[in-house]
Amino acid sequence: MKRSRLPDALRTTTALALMTICAPAMAQQIETQTPEPETMSLAPVTLLADRQGTSTREVPASVTVIDGEEIRARGLDDMQELVRYTPGVTVQRQTTATDPFNTFGGFTIRGVGGNRVQMLIDGSRVPERITDGTRDYLDFAFTKQVEIAKGPSSVLWGADALGGVVAVETIDPEDLLQGRDSGGMARMAYDSLNDGSSISGAFAQRFGNDWSIMAGLSRSAAHEAELSNARNDGGIYGCPRNVEYGATPCGELNPTDTDATHAIAKAVWKPSDEHRLELSFDWLDRKTEVQYDNTLGPVYSTMTGLPTGEVNHNYDRDLDMTRKRFGLEYVWTPENRLVDEVRTTLAYTPSGYDRSGKKWSTSSAGDQMITRDYLGYDEDFVELDIQATSRFETGSAKHTVTWGFDGDHTKTDYSRLDVASNLTTGDVTETPAGGFNFANADTRRADIYVQDQISLLGGALEITPGLRYATYKIDPRPNGDYQVIDGAEPRIREDEKLLKSLGALYRFGDGWQVWGHYGEGFKMPTAQQLYTSVPGAFFDMTPAPDLKPEEVKSIEFGLRRETARGYFGLTAFNADYDNFIQSFYNPPGTSDYTYRNLSEMRVWGLEFEAAYEISDTLRLTGAASWQKGDQRVDPDAEETPTTLPPLSGNVALSWDTPQDGLTVDVVGVFASSVKYVESEDNFKPAGYGLIDTYARWQVAENAVLNMGVRNLFDKRYFEASAATYSSAASTSVAASNPIELQTGAGRAFTASLDFTF
């Protein structure tokens, strides 16, 4: 299965070279529009903060926008790389026994992650992560921008946006047309870290004044990342792998092949200024194959540490992940002014994955065994969002009221089957409903919301109150393989909550602003948290149908100033969570593992960002996040620290010469170590510092060459003391055994060539 790295690299490098040579000639035949250079006074526009499209520096919220140009220029081609330069936001890469495919479990914002951060693509939900699964559904080939809202955003975007929102917006036909009748883009890219190569293209055409269409296709391929500073001997923790049997050394990742196809299509009909109708289709299919070689050789008991007598000879594992979206959006801007705009979106988004494995082993009795495992997980959404905007005045106050309905119906299905074939005796044993089996379920969310942005004192003061009435119902559908536990049978769960928010922003002096925001959120337990039921030989996974919803109350304060040559912002935040759900709790004196509510959890901290134009060609930017947290299991227990990197940040120096078409960025990224955790066995990340450098060269009017080196300098302050580690400096870390360690990043060269036509 493992392919040689050299042919892919040669093909990609040759293609890039040929395209660079041909670029000037192509530029003479293809017209394009060169965008004007951005000035310091311009700021990205956010939809997350107010659903209206406002500058990030004009809203009482902490929002980061990563635009498509930055994604392409820096080769940010996955979830972890996307937030590499966003302090306080991280993504964990998974290399566990349940998910060995080097995928991502979701975003962590201000210490709160996983399913507590809502992920959206063009306004549609991304499936939640289950214990033996992934949340790696994002692909950035056709991305206009990504918005990251830090802190609860439940009033506008859903009650379960407990820790924040990450929203991806894809390109529209007009992004390619730019006022013309036809236009398009093409891109080729290479990343030496995982020998990844990709090629993509999109084309748009306008038909008269009413119709425009676009279509895009992307193909990519990659292998496992090559780590440059991970130790094969496992460092101070040793290496428990049977390297002499051919097991993957502790300083490497298992051989991996990944291939992905991403297709997108949109059609826009605009018969008049009052009406706009958009049909869209978005499809991503990603296949990953892993030689799970780290388990080769004799098997040792995780309970006693002694050999079991079993020997693993080969283990191949496959993952096929699919995300689809069929969308219909209608925008009506009536002239009667009672309602300025009504935006209605109806979408069907089926997503999920199939996972399989085939293991050849010798049993403790000496029999030859072939074991196959299958897992299927699907979340299919039908979503309806109706957003209306009304603008009016009451005396000297100006109002922008955003109100509407946000609802969806979700069908969740989980299946698991293990088949053991004894080649020696001919016996075949099938075991359904293993792993983390839980009852299938149907979920209904139906919310109404309203937010009023009130402008006072001639626009100097803005006050923004908001309400959301959130309702939730989950109806289990256990199949015949589900193991019912007396007293904990699956049953319908319903809840409702009135959520409140209040924002205020005051402008004064010479470009000064002070702002504050209060927000609430609540999140119902998932089907897996409520209904997991798996009896086992050594322990039982038991349901927890009486779990309470998680809740949060958050408050933020900020200070900003913007001048002709610079900008800075300082934010302080505090979030108090109640009934936080703990996974795999072992009640004392039992062999059961279940879910339970923690009494409370608190996260607080400071965030800083700044930019300054040293000269017309030189710009200095920086950002930092300091955060801490603690949690309490019950009202009488002592507080224990949460695992948060106390300080992280970056500093960048950008040199831009428009007359030469050249931009050079040097970015330093750092994070301090975590010193205090709940116990010595808990996850304890190390600190690190690194330097990246990028160059962007306008080689022709319609062609841009991007090149970069990540981890040009990489310094780790001390080793981590846990199995899983993820940061801007770390590509991937060890798996299921807590003494394994695979920290380290590979020094990576990235290159891409972008065309517009």
**Three-class secondary structure assignment of 660-698:** CCEEEEEEEEEECCCCCCCCCCCCCCCCEEEEEEEEEEE
Phi and psi angles of residue 79, each rounded to the nearest 5 degrees, phi first: -60, -40
What the chain holds in terms of domains, given with CATH numbers, is 62-756 (2.40.170.20)
The predicted structure's pLDDT at residue 509 = 92
CA-closest candidate to residue 222, choices 81, 19, 73? 81
Sign of CA dihedral 711, 228, 69, 569: negative
- What per-residue confidence (pLDDT) applies to 5? 45
Q: What is the bridge-based pairing of β-strands 89-94 and 256-272?
A: unpaired
Contacts of 12 by beta carbon, 8 Å cutoff, 6+ apart: 188, 190, 197
Q: Strand, coil or helix: what is 197? A: strand
> What's the rounded Cα separation, in Å, for the pair 643 and 494?
32
pLDDT in tens, 345-377: 999 999 999 999 999 999 999 999 999 999 999
Number of Cβ within a 10 Å radius of residue 238: 12
- The answer to whether the predicted template modeling score (pTM) of the entire model surpasses 0.75 is yes
Q: Which phi and psi (to 5°) does residue 272 adopt? A: -155, 175
Per-residue DSSP letter, 37: P
Say how far apart CA 57 and CA 504 lie, in whole Å. 13
For residue 529, what are its two tokens?
């948290």
Q: CA 67, CA 79: separation in Å to the nearest integer?
A: 14
Beta strands in 163-291 (DSSP E): 164-170, 182-191, 196-207, 211-223, 256-272, 275-291
Backbone angles phi, psi at 8, to 5 degrees: -60, -45
How far is residue 84's CA from residue 74's CA, in Å, rounded to a whole number?
A: 10
User: Starting from the edge strand earliest in sequence, which strands make up the sheet with 143-150, in order?
Assistant: 63-67, 143-150, 164-170, 117-121, 124-125
Q: What count of residues does the chain have? A: 757
What is the pLDDT at residue 726?
Answer: 32
CA-based nearest residue to 631, from 582, 686, 587: 582
For 55, residues 6+ apart whose C-beta sits below 8 A from its C-beta are 43, 44, 45, 46
Sign of the dihedral defined by the CA atoms of residues 68, 572, 515, 60, in that order: positive
459: left (phi over 0), alpha (psi -120 to 50) or beta: left
Average per-residue pLDDT for the chain: 86
Q: Which residues pair with 561 in a beta bridge?
A: 512, 568
* Closest residue by Cα to residue 283 from 193, 200, 350: 350
Nearest-5° angle of CA 495, CA 497, CA 500? 165
Q: What is the pLDDT of residue 641?
A: 66
CA distance 501 to 497: 13
Q: Is 77 left (phi over 0), alpha (psi -120 to 50) or beta?
A: alpha
Backbone φ and ψ of 159, nearest 5° = -60, -25
pLDDT digits (tens, 9 = 90+) for 372-417: 999 999 999 999 999 999 999 999 999 999 999 999 999 999 999 9
Helix (H, G, I), strand (E, B) or coil at 705: strand
In whole angstroms, what separates CA 135 from the centre of its chain?
A: 7
CA terminus-to-terminus distance, the chain: 39
Chain centroid to CA 424: how far?
46
Q: Which residues of the chain have pLDDT under 70?
A: 1-42, 228-231, 234-238, 641-645, 676-686, 715-746
